[in-house]
């Protein structure tokens, strides 16, 4: 079936606006998307009237995502088995170990979106990650490396160093130091569903203390991944 060009353009506009929380003007949008000005204007006005976008700055007329898109996203959150299954287990783990927790999904083949974020009151770090944040690369972040190592659907498409991939597969998780001072330890693990495929990646971040602590934390976090996968109907073996 042939793609509908207008729908694709509207989705491109919404995706672009979602990546710019300070808002974008009409000129910035049609130039970035290489779209006729009149076409972009018509789409923006339609979206504006539907409350899908609104003016963050009425004087500059900068567009940001509106209440309609939030409502639609909320319905997805409620209906997603992955989110509803993982959220309480991530919260329980984070509160016990003083972590920030995240759940992500792969979209459009080559992007990663954060669909759930939780910061424990016991956490000693602040993670500047919000629901809806999109990563456009698999190679420059620990979550993307986890997908690249475990997700069979992108095997051969996303490049990852073979020795690094082997190490990740052997451990069953990805760990990476982050933060301006490399003071944050990030751990990511895959989650599988009843079709025996990677349905998402969950991750935690915590103040780094030692590699011994990291290995112990990762071992416990892998158990959380197993619980989520089992509840989603996965019957295979997880390292």
Q: Is the dihedral of CA 212, 215, 216, 217 positive or negative?
A: positive
pLDDT band at 175 (very low <50, low <70, confident <90, very high): very high
Are residue 62 and residue 106 in the same domain, yes or no?
A: no
In a domain, 21, yes or no: yes
* Tokens 């990762």 found at: 218
CATH number at residue 180: 3.30.450.40
Residue 25 phi/psi, 5° resolution?
-85, 170
Q: Which of 34, 51, 70 is the last residue of a domain?
A: 70
Question: DSSP readout, 60-123?
Answer: TTEEEE-HHHHHHHHHHHHH-HHHHHHHHHHHHHHHHHT-EEEEEEEETTTEEEEEEEEE-TT-
In a domain, 238, yes or no: no
DSSP code of residue 209: -
State the distance between the two ends of the chain, measured CA to CA, in whole angstroms: 41
What is the pTM (predicted TM-score) of this model? 0.71
**pLDDT digit string, tens, across residues 20-73:** 888 999 999 999 999 999 999 999 999 999 889 999 888 899 999 887 787 677
Host H or E run for residue 57: strand 53-57
Contact 198, 47 (CB under 8 A): no
Are residue 63 and residue 149 in the same domain, yes or no?
A: no
Of 225, 217, 154, nearest in space to 192 by CA: 225
In a domain, 239, yes or no: no
- Residue 64 pairs in a beta bridge with 54
CATH number at residue 40: 1.10.10.10
- Specify the range with the lowest mean pLDDT, choosing from 113-127, 151-165, 214-228: 151-165
Are residue 93 and residue 211 in the same domain, yes or no?
A: yes
Q: What is the pLDDT of residue 96?
A: 95
Contact 35, 8 (CB under 8 A): no
Domain span including residue 17: 5-70
**pLDDT digit string, tens, across residues 59-109:** 899 999 887 787 677 656 655 789 999 999 999 999 999 999 999 999 877
């Amino acid at each position: 079936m042939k793609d509908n060009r207008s729908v694709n353009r509207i989705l491109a506009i919404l995706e672009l606006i979602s990546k710019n929380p300070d808002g974008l003007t009409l000129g910035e949008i049609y130039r970035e998307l290489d779209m006729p000005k009149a076409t972009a204007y018509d789409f923006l006005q339609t979206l504006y009237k539907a409350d899908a976008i609104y003016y963050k700055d009425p004087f500059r007329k900068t567009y940001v995502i509106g209440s309609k898109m939030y409502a639609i996203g909320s319905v997805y959150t409620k209906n997603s088995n992955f989110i509803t299954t993982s959220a309480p287990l991530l919260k329980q783990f984070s509160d016990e170990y003083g972590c920030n927790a995240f759940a992500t999904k792969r979209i459009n083949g080559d992007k990663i979106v954060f669909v759930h974020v939780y910061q424990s009151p016991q956490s000693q770090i602040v993670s500047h990650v919000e629901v809806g944040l999109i990563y456009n690369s698999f190679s420059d972040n620990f979550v993307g490396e986890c997908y690249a190592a475990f997700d069979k659907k992108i095997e051969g498409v996303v490049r990852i160093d073979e020795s690094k991939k082997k190490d990740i597969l052997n451990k069953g998780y990805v760990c990476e130091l982050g933060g301006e001072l490399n003071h944050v330890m990030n751990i990511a693990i895959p989650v599988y569903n009843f079709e025996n495929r990677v349905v998402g990646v969950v991750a935690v971040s915590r103040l780094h203390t030692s590699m011994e602590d990291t290995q112990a934390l990762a071992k416990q976090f892998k158990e959380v991944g197993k619980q989520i996968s089992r509840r989603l109907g996965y019957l295979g073996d997880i390292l």
